[in-house]
Amino acid sequence: MRRIEDLVRWMGFNSQGDLGPWTFYTDKRHNLVYFVKAPPLEPPSILQSSVRNKIRLAAYTWRALSTDEQSRWELAAKRAHLRIHGYNLFVFWILKRDDAAIETIERLSRVQLLPLTPRPP
């Protein structure tokens, strides 16, 4: 098992997530923790499928934004000192539709995010 840890560190892998049949993460003491990925025992529930579809829709909507709009979301997240990227902020807004939170971020960052303007076909 030590060989896997050495290989992952040698590759410069940021140990968080799945890599092949393994799941990796770093604990609070900065130790690498890994284990064989456990396959699901049951198919996804209706609620899980619904959430996954919402996230897919959010990703599709992000890709449909112009580069200017994407840049504004990235800039707003950076200027508001959020520890997330603009994409994650956008996905949060799509999933929660919390306009008040986005308006607060607009005030902090001085970047207009809402309303989104649809791109011409």
Tens-place pLDDT, residues 50-93: 999 999 999 999 999 999 999 999 999 999 999 899 999 999 99
CA–CA dist 54, 67 (Å, integer): 22
CB count within 10 Å of CB 119 equals 9
Shortest CA distance to 92 belongs to which of 80, 83, 101? 101
CB of 106 closer than 8 Å to CB of 75: no
pTM: 0.66
| Percent of the chain clearing pLDDT 70 (strictly above) | 83
pLDDT-derived band of residue 1, with 50, 70 and 90 as boundaries?
low
- Please give the structure tokens belonging to residue 4: 């896997």
**Domain edges within the chain:** 2-36, 46-109
| Cα(119)–Cα(65) distance, integer angstroms | 7
Give me 2's structure tokens. Answer: 């030590």
